[in-house]
Amino acid sequence: MPVLLPPALEPFLDVLRCPVCRARLRPGHGSLRCPAGHTFDIARQGYVSLLTGIRATSGDDADMVQARNRFLSTGRYAPVRQTLTRMTADALPGRGKVVDVGCGTGYYLAGVLDQLPGTRGLGLDTSVRALRSAARAHPRAAAASWDVFRPFPLADHGVDVVLDVFAPRNPAEFHRVLRPSGRLIVVRPGERHLAELRDRIPGMVTIDPDKEQRLRQALDPYFQPAGTRHVAYTTSLTRQEAIDLVGMTPSARHLTHADLTDPGALPARTTVSVLATSYRPR
């Protein structure tokens, strides 16, 4: 039996474009297709597979997605989500479309949609396992497989807000798909983010001290900053929460089980320090 078009995906049909020929996509028989016949299946879990036949960069694997779902459900990152939601609300006072690039399991997009009832959301990610969660994260959240480093399957100037939360960036494409009045909101780790974990676990990925300079250089041709908020606090961690927090980050690919089983290796508290900046298109 063909999969029906997810209701959350329907509002994005006016901006979705065929990744092959850039024509409009229309629903039909459990898929989206363009007039040229390029067809993209809608998975039974509710996301659309726009990356069909294209090799994507690596996304979260099953263990990382499970760790992410467990950790984010604890609320330890709720202040980060609340700040992102407030910034999105400031940028989008009425109805609109929000695209979350590298959406993961949809945690941040769902938080935004909870507080903005007139808003629709679309999450893009390479990880099929993460998209299975993202497609169920909120009744108004659609999800599609896509690679941030490729031209987005979206029309020019059809999106009101682009979210980029701990995700790779494609400034030229962000600029192309945003309306002239739109906003890009970038959330990234600060210097002290998870410092206690990084001090105890040498194999964790470090934070590049030149990260902010590189971000400015990459975005400056396309965007100008409109305001930055620094979210900084310490949070307690159970042993399982610490394991999940490490396990949901890119560091998980560089660590072994032994790195996390030493009782003295995992701190009982850690610092959360992130920067969130809203940008106007130039």
What pLDDT does 203 receive?
77
What is this structure's pTM? Answer: 0.94
Residue 262 pLDDT level (bands cut at 50, 70, 90): low
Concatenated DSSP letters of the chain = -PPPPPTTTGGGTTTBB-TTT--B-EE-SSEEE-TT--EEEBPTTS-B-TTTTSPPPP---HHHHHHHHHHHTTTTTHHHHHHHHHHHHHH-SSSEEEEEET-TTSHHHHHHHHH-TTEEEEEEES-HHHHHHHTTS-TTEEEEE--TTS--SB-TT-EEEEEEESS---HHHHHHHEEEEEEEEEEEE-TTTTHHHHHH-TTSPPPPTTHHHHHHHHHTTTEEEEEEEEEEEEEE--HHHHHHHHHTSGGGGG--HHHHH-TTTS-SEEEEEEEEEEEEE-
What pLDDT does 109 receive?
98
What pLDDT does 266 receive?
87
Residue 261 pLDDT level (bands cut at 50, 70, 90): low
What pLDDT does 153 receive?
97
pLDDT exceeds 90 at position 93: no
pLDDT in tens, 141-178: 999 999 999 999 999 999 999 999 999 999 999 999 99
Q: What is the mean pLDDT of residues 254-276?
A: 80
